[in-house]
Structure 1
Amino acid sequence: MKREDDFEIRRKHLADLSDEELYERFWKLTEQIVDPLIDLAYNHTSSSIERSVLLRMGFSSIESDVIVAEGLKAGLLGKGMGNVVLKYGDLKGMSYLEAGRQLAQGKGWNEAAALFKGGVVNC
């Protein structure tokens, strides 16, 4: 079965637009498509995403599991576990690897939570 060519009909609403207007329309429509995805990425996470971030930061899978589990208990998952580790390291004046390992040992969670007091994004 051959498809009927309806290009001319479908492009009528665009026919009178200049190249600049077409360009602007393209980016406006692109933003409408991408904005919900960006919003979703900024406001939602999961334990597996946070473990993945920590693995890429250089932590072992065991350390990552513990940090995420403790962060979940502290209500900090929505802040990003990599972010929590970095901020805690800054607070303590140590590298993020040292800070993360300390958190993985169960130390420093009260101080880490205090850094993020305020609204926590629910995930």
Structure 2
Amino acid sequence: MQRKDDFETRRQHLAHLSEEELEKRFWELTEKIVEPLIELARTHTSPSIERSVLLRMGFDSLTAKAIVEKCVEKGLLGKGAGHVVLKYALYKNIPIKEAGERLAKGDGWDEIEQAMAVKISAASAGEVV
């Protein structure tokens, strides 16, 4: 059995797009795919799940517990405790480990609102690891 290749037919609606336009379309479609997953994660998390995420990020259980408790207190659990730590690390331009330790000690929570406004890119996330 030989497969009839229909690539040219299937790509006709994309053929006129430049490389930049194709990349933009890719990211738009990716965002549409991921959006429901983000909503599910936001609405279906728990302190236990968030502690687990922090443990996988390399924090010990006491540090993870302290961060999650503060996230609950501040109404940030739906954002993800790991996300809060990452945003704070980017905001302060410090390693993730140091950011988490500061937050666990109670420091930096007054800056979290500004930190959550930081835009994340693959390059910026790699800087704080």
In the superposition, relative to structure 1, how do residues 94 and 79 fare at CA in structure 2: closer, same or farther (>3 Å)? Answer: same
Instruction: Note the C-alpha offset of 1:115.
Output: 3.4
What runs of 5+ residues in structure 2 fail to find an aligned partner? Answer: 1-35, 118-129
> TM-score w.r.t. structure 2 length?
0.58
The residue aligned with 1:115 is 115
**Match of 1:90?**
90
1:44-59, aligned counterparts within 5 Å? Answer: 44-59=44-59
Calculate the aligned-residue CA RMSD, in Å: 2.0
**How many pairs are equivalent?**
82
Conservation of the 8 A alpha-carbon contact between 1:74 and 1:113:
no
If asked which structure has higher relative contact order (CA below 8 Å, sep 6+), I would say: 1
Q: Equivalences for 1:30-109 in 2 at 5 Å?
A: 38=37, 39-109=39-109
Runs of at least 4 residues off by over 4 Å: none
Equivalent residues of 1:50, 1:82 under 8 A apart: yes
Contact 1:85 1:96 in 2 (8 A): yes
Is the Cα–Cα contact under 8 Å of residues 47 and 68 in structure 1 kept in the other structure? yes
After TM superposition, give the deviation of residue 113 of structure 1 in Å. Answer: 3.3
Question: What fraction of aligned residue pairs are identical, expressed as a percent?
Answer: 52
Q: Deviations over 1:10-46 (max 9, x none)?
A: xxxxxxxxxxxxxxxxxxxxxxxxxxx9453343210
Structure 1 unaligned regions, length at least 5: 1-36, 118-123
1:3 alignment counterpart: none
Report the Cα distance in structure 1 between the residues aligned to 2:67 and 2:41, rounded to whole angstroms. 21
- Cα separation, partners in 2 of 1:116 and 1:93, compared to 1, 3 Å: closer
